[in-house]
Amino acid sequence: KQEVTQIPAALSVPEGENLVLNCSFTDSAIYNLQWFRQDPGKGLTSLLLIQSSQREQTSGRLNASLDKSSGRSTLYIAASQPGDSATYLCAVNVLPGTYKYIFGTGTRLKVLA
């Protein structure tokens, strides 16, 4: 059974720091991995999607990497800003099957001004 874990569960950093969020999954048979951002009580905003054949994806200050063999992904946020404060979730498609997402436990990020 696929399990997805995110470390740390919470993180508080001063503005301007570069930071790394970690996502681990137990079964490497995934189709893709997606990172989301969620503000309190709000919906899921897709940040980056990494296909299983890819190693990394970049969008602005965000860079996500994927190492399927070790069951890990990292989300790198450069020059953090207070507006980055949110919960970050990773999710993996389950293979074989219907490609439903299994979500990680999330990392609550707070960037202090």
Partner 1 sequence: AAGVIQSPRHLIKEKRETATLKCYPIPRHDTVYWYQQGPGQDPQFLISFYEKMQSDKGSIPDRFSAQQFSDYHSELNMSSLELGDSALYFCASSPQRAEQFFGPGTRLTVL
Strand 56-59 and strand 62-67: pairing? antiparallel
Mapped onto helix, strand or coil, the DSSP state of residue 48 is strand
Q: Which residues in 64-93 contact partner 1 (CB under 8 A)?
A: 89, 91
Shortest gap between Cβ of 18 and partner 1 (angstroms)?
A: 25
| Nearest to 91, CA basis, from 41, 53, 36, 40 | 36
Shortest gap between Cβ of 20 and partner 1 (angstroms)?
A: 20
Q: Are 40 and 24 in contact (CB under 8 A)?
A: no
User: Applying CB under 8 A, does 102 fall inside the site for partner 1?
Assistant: yes
Q: Are 104 and 35 in contact (CB under 8 A)?
A: no
φ, ψ for residue 83 (rounded to 5)? -65, -10
Instruction: Single out the residue of 37, 57, 65, 106 in contact with partner 1 (rule: CB under 8 A).
Output: 106
Q: Which residues in 13-42 contact partner 1 (CB under 8 A)?
A: 31-32, 34, 36, 41-42
Q: Which is nearer to partner 1, 55 or 100 (CB)?
A: 100
The site for partner 1 (CB under 8 A) is made up of 31-32, 34, 36, 41-44, 46, 49, 89, 91, 97-106
